[in-house]
Structure 1
Amino acid sequence: MVSAAEKLPITVEEYLQGEASAEYKHEYLNGEVWAMVGATDAHVTIAMNLGFLLKQSLKGTPCRAYISDMKVNVEKANAFFYPDVLVTCNSKDRDNTLFKQHPVFIAEMLSPSTEAFDRGQKFSAYRQLESLQTYWLIDSRKMSVDCFNRTDNNEWLLHGYEKAEEIVRIPALDLEWPLQSLYEEVLFAQS
């Protein structure tokens, strides 16, 4: 008999079936499922700003930007995540309306409750995506972005940005903007 406190892993099929009718979004990692937490005004505004910049910049290309409601499947990690922003340019992703498997760019907005996971286990899983070239961790409490870019040697190079006039780049998409454009209309919480 299974004790009440013991967690039973679920299959990918069970997860996807449950997500199709779930009232709240859930992420999945190797049989474990957890509900997504709500977001702050700053978090949502930054994600919207980045999504808008990407949408405008990618017009007329085979690439498409998605925000928080599109899942990414990291098959090698047995995981499904809802990144805050992602871009895929792979034609295989156009046919799959439930999740994407070949993102070139992913951005996560950091919050106190998710930062350790976004920097650790989630980034470890994302690095298994052969298509992923750039991963951004965007702070929602202050103007700061950690940009990780995959090198030709399959290493990840970090460049941090904290000054409004600095230019943030997504080399694989040949895109760049001033850091301040990500934080337009953002009101940081007063501590």
Structure 2
Amino acid sequence: MSARPLPPNLSPEEYLALEEKSPVRHEYVDGIVYEMPGESKEHDEVAGNIYTALRPVARSRGCWVAFEGVKLWIPQLHRYYYPDVMVLCDPAETQSHIFQRPCFIAEVTSPTTEATDRREKLQAYRSIESLSTYLIVDPEARCVDVFHRASAGWQTLRLETGSVDVPCLGFSLPLEAIFEGL
């Protein structure tokens, strides 16, 4: 990750205690804690657009859309992340701010997060059994890299027009909606 690391070798419990008191968000990767960089107006606009488009569809299907402020815990990798947008449909998800079983994740990339989104997070997110779709959204290039879980493994598609299928919601998310206002 590109942000500066904090004290090394924290336990997940120590990380959660640190995060509870911190005025800024941090991600946790197997004992190492990284301060998250600030977002741009374009980043917030795109993440907000995705949330706004998915929320009514998710609610109608008994799902919930998380927007930037909740954590994703990947226990097998000992990682806590703050995805930009997650869709959660598993009724077993009962906590209010830490989740483990999203069916959809979107990360809005920037020059400071692109390498992490494309390598570390891609690898980590693909290990989540419930996840069917991971988007890496590039507001600068106005394109979306879509990673879909298929029976033969993960498939990748780059879109500059059209829409993204969100199978867990039975919905297609138009790229026009993602980039609206830019």
Report the secondary structure of 1:119's partner residue. Answer: helix
Question: In structure 2, what is the Cα distance between the partners aligned to 1:53 and 1:98?
Answer: 22
Contact preservation (8 Å) 2:8, 2:33: no
Partner in structure 2 of residue 148 of structure 1: 147
| 1:102-137 CA-partner distances (Å, limit 9, x unpaired) | 000000001011101111011111111111110000
Report the secondary structure of 1:42's partner residue. Answer: helix
The alignment of Structure 1 onto Structure 2 pairs a total of residues equal to 177
Tell me whether 1:44 sits opposite 2:44 in the alignment: yes
Partner in structure 1 of residue 135 of structure 2: 136
Q: How far apart are 1:159 and its partner, in Å?
A: 1.3
Gaps of 5+ in 2: 1-6
Gaps of 5+ in 1: 1-6, 187-191
Alignment of 1:71-150 (within 5 A): 71-93=71-93, 95-150=94-149
The runs of at least 4 consecutive aligned structure 1 residues that moved more than 3 Å come to none
Question: In structure 2, what is the Cα distance between the partners aligned to 1:156 and 1:135?
Answer: 10
Question: In structure 1, what is the Cα distance between the partners aligned to 2:175 and 2:97?
Answer: 31
Report the secondary structure of 2:151's partner residue. Answer: coil
Of residues 162, 167, 187, the one that matches 2:163 is: 167
Question: In structure 2, what is the Cα distance between the partners aligned to 1:65 and 1:174?
Answer: 15
Partner in structure 1 of residue 155 of structure 2: 157
Given residue 180 of structure 1, which amino acid in structure 2 is its aligned partner?
E
Normalising by structure 1, report the TM-score.
Answer: 0.89
Q: How far apart are 1:72 and its partner, in Å?
A: 0.3
Contact preservation (8 Å) 2:105, 2:134: yes
Normalising by structure 2, report the TM-score.
Answer: 0.93
Partner in structure 2 of residue 4 of structure 1: none
Contact preservation (8 Å) 2:166, 2:173: no
Question: In structure 2, what is the Cα distance between the partners aligned to 1:74 and 1:8?
Answer: 19
Report the secondary structure of 1:180's partner residue. Answer: helix
Query: Structure 1 vs Structure 2: percent identity of aligned residues?
Result: 34
Question: In structure 2, what is the Cα distance between the partners aligned to 1:178 and 1:172?
Answer: 16
Partner in structure 2 of residue 179 of structure 1: 175
Contact preservation (8 Å) 2:61, 2:169: no
Question: In structure 1, what is the Cα distance between the partners aligned to 2:85 and 2:173?
Answer: 16
Contact preservation (8 Å) 2:87, 2:105: yes
Question: In structure 2, what is the Cα distance between the partners aligned to 1:89 and 1:177?
Answer: 17
